[in-house]
Amino acid sequence: MANRGASSSSAPFTKSWKYHVFLSFRGFDTRSNFTSHLYSALRLQGINTFMDDDELRRGEEISSALLTAIEDSRISVVVFSENYASSKWCLDELVKILDCKESNQQLIIPVFYKVNPSDVRNHRGSFGDALANMERKYKDELDKVKKWRAALSQAAALSGFPLDEHRSEAELIHKIVQEISQRVIDRTYLYVTEYPVGMHYPVQDIIKLLDLGENDVRMVGLWGTGGIGKTTIATAVYNSIAHEFEGCSFLANVKDSKGGGLAKPQRTLLSEILGDTNLEVANVHKGATMIKQRLSCRKVLLVLDDVDDMEQLYKLVGACDWFGVGSRIIITTRDKQLLTAHHVNLIHEVRILDDPEALELLCWHAFKRSGPPLDDYVKLAERAIHYAQGLPLALKVLGSCLCGGSTEKWEATLDGFKSTKIQDVLEISYNALDHSVQEIFLDIACFFKGRSRMHVTKILVACDPNARYSIEVLVEKALISVEGDHIQMHDLLEEMGKDIVYLQSPNEAGRRSRLWSYEDIEDVLANNTISKLNYTCECVMFYSIQ
């Protein structure tokens, strides 16, 4: 990922908003009526709303408290009224709001309170008169007036809510509150990452490829090697644009669904978009037909994460005409040929972090700050970056492994690398674990990825009383994560864990400590090779017949 300026550690897709809504309005026109009623209605629905008071509006310049409130708000509701443009405060607020829309994907909802949207957009009537007065008053600051003009035109061009003498204020307020609740407040944002270094520009590039302003149906591919951040970037894009669609679904780890197993993600996709948790999919073929029939008139956002087989694309997103006008489908994969074969022509290649970004990410995980490292660690950090090869996963795991370590520990760990292959980098972190923690790691890799933390903990504690501690260690070392109540693990770490077990006996499954593959279990039971175990078989996964 190219280094294009300032660090993006506070990227918009992970921002924690202090307010749901910021109200921008001309107090003289609407403070004691429409805006105060809207504020009360929003608060009654549990929507945290910032509405300034007269104490903040003293002097010529907009206060820092107002600027901060705008930055900390997910949505700005701009109430355009007759005298809005006669207030320098309102115009400065509007410029700041549009800046935040550009940099943070904040939402703007314009309300046209007894004014014509065309007059606001084209600077006619009271808006034209007010801007002419501003030009005379600020004749030495015409660049500022130019920004005000542009801001009015841009904001008034957005889809909003008009209020004239024929419409009830109460009805309009109800619709605004409903819109904010349904499109944003009621949505659950997916977890992205703790330190989103180097992600801002890739996310912006993908949003440009998606081109939400076009009314076509568009598929965009994210292609790159494992551990490079495809899923993280796709999640950030999803969070940034999901409010634009009638329905959304993020299907993680699609590669884990093979053949008949695709009925499960089909059911998930349909139930999330249609809101029907009781929906049944009899088989994969019927599921594909249901997707085409039920979603062909809906504007939807779909993310298919980690696709590795054409059948997954055929049965989940067969063709553009399966979905309604304006729909967008994002596909992440390590195999570019899959995208080409499915006629996905818009492909974003996810690139490795450059050295400054890699250093920043390493420092966040190793030192809990953005850097630079202390003098004694500078050369060691450079070595670590070399081994990680710009891969975010490797930097995260390696930094967490080295966190709090002395220079001697760093030296010993880095000296243990055989190569710069990512599996070797990840295995160093595994080898540094105590044996009991290694065992819990293998259990999770083979059996419990994506399962409820409470459920997994109960099972593991029954075998090892210290399992809770081991799970905490794995979280601290970035070898697993807990998202909501579910234990997650990157697929490369899962592959590494399964490879470790597989290599216990490559040719005879019955000699391995864990059996999770249906084929291996069937072979061991059919041939009675369970008696030949070199290891005590700790766990076998059983499959239900559906």
Give 465-520 pLDDT, tens digit per residue: 999 999 999 988 888 988 878 998 888 889 899 999 999 888 888 888 888 888 88
Write the DSSP symbol of residue 260: G
- How many angstroms separate the CA atoms of 287 and 264, rounded? 9
Exposed e or buried b for every residue in 201-215, given b needs 16+ CB within 10 A?
ebbbebbebbeeeee
Average pLDDT over the chain, rounded to an integer? 87
Kindly report, residue by residue over 344-396, the tens digit of the pLDDT.
999 999 999 999 999 999 999 999 988 788 889 999 999 999 888 889 998 99
- How many angstroms separate the CA atoms of 307 and 317, rounded? 12
* Range 159-164, long-range pairs (CB < 8 A, 24+ positions): 160/109, 160/110, 160/111, 160/112, 160/117, 161/109, 161/110, 161/111, 161/112, 162/111, 162/112, 162/117, 163/34, 163/111, 163/112, 163/113, 163/114, 164/114
Amino acid 217 reads: V
Q: What is the pLDDT of residue 87?
A: 92
The total number of residues written for the chain in this structure: 546
In the numeric block, the tokens 């594909």 are attached to 288
Does position 12 have pLDDT exceeding 60, yes or no?
no
Summarize the confidence of residues 422-427 as an average pLDDT: 79
Measured CA to CA in angstroms, residue 115 lies from 29, 50, 149, 480 at distances of: 12, 24, 17, 55
Looking at the whole model, is its pTM more than 0.75?
A: no
Whether the CB-CB separation of 422 and 391 falls below 8 Å is answered with yes
For residue 482, the cross-strand partners are 487
Count Cβ atoms within 10 A of the Cβ of residue 315 and give its class: 0-12 exposed, 13-18 middle, 19 or more buried: buried
Name the token pair of 394: 């490797």
- How many angstroms separate the CA atoms of 258 and 264, rounded? 10
Whether the CB-CB separation of 69 and 19 falls below 8 Å is answered with yes
Closest CA relative to residue 470, chosen from 458, 460, 482: 460
Kindly report, residue by residue over 266-286, the tens digit of the pLDDT.
999 999 998 888 888 989 999
Q: What is the pLDDT of residue 225?
A: 85
Name the token pair of 41: 């209605």
Whether the CB-CB separation of 224 and 36 falls below 8 Å is answered with no
Does position 4 have pLDDT exceeding 70, yes or no?
no
- How many angstroms separate the CA atoms of 72 and 21, rounded? 9
All residues at 6 or more sequence positions from 392 whose CB lies less than 8 Å from its CB, including other chains: 197, 198, 227, 228, 229, 232, 353, 361
E strands along 326-440, which residues?
328-333, 346-349
In the numeric block, the tokens 């007759």 are attached to 82
The arrangement of strands across the sheet holding 247-251 comes to 247-251, 300-307, 328-333, 218-223, 346-349
Q: What is the pLDDT of residue 16?
A: 67
Task: Provide the Cα torsion 63, 65, 68, 70; round to 10°.
Answer: -80
Kindly report, residue by residue over 36-94, the tens digit of the pLDDT.
999 999 988 888 899 987 545 555 567 788 899 999 999 999 999 999 999 998 999 99
Residue 377: Cβ within 10 Å count: 21
The answer, yes or no, to whether the previous bond of 392 is cis (omega within 30 of 0) is no
**93 annotated active-site:** yes
In the numeric block, the tokens 């904040």 are attached to 106
For residue 75, the cross-strand partners are 21, 107
Measured CA to CA in angstroms, residue 116 lies from 30, 38, 152, 163, 177 at distances of: 16, 20, 13, 9, 22
Whether the CB-CB separation of 302 and 269 falls below 8 Å is answered with yes
Whether the CB-CB separation of 416 and 431 falls below 8 Å is answered with yes
Whether the CB-CB separation of 298 and 323 falls below 8 Å is answered with yes
Whether the CB-CB separation of 345 and 221 falls below 8 Å is answered with no
Does position 334 have pLDDT exceeding 70, yes or no?
yes
- How many angstroms separate the CA atoms of 249 and 258, rounded? 19
Name the token pair of 324: 């309604």
Does position 537 have pLDDT exceeding 70, yes or no?
no
- How many angstroms separate the CA atoms of 140 and 350, rounded? 47
Q: With residue 248 as reference, give the H or E element that holds it.
A: strand 247-251
Query: Where is pLDDT greater, at 185 or 232?
Result: 232
Catalytic, out of 71, 82, 93, 357: 93
First to last CA, the chain: 44
Whether the CB-CB separation of 380 and 414 falls below 8 Å is answered with yes
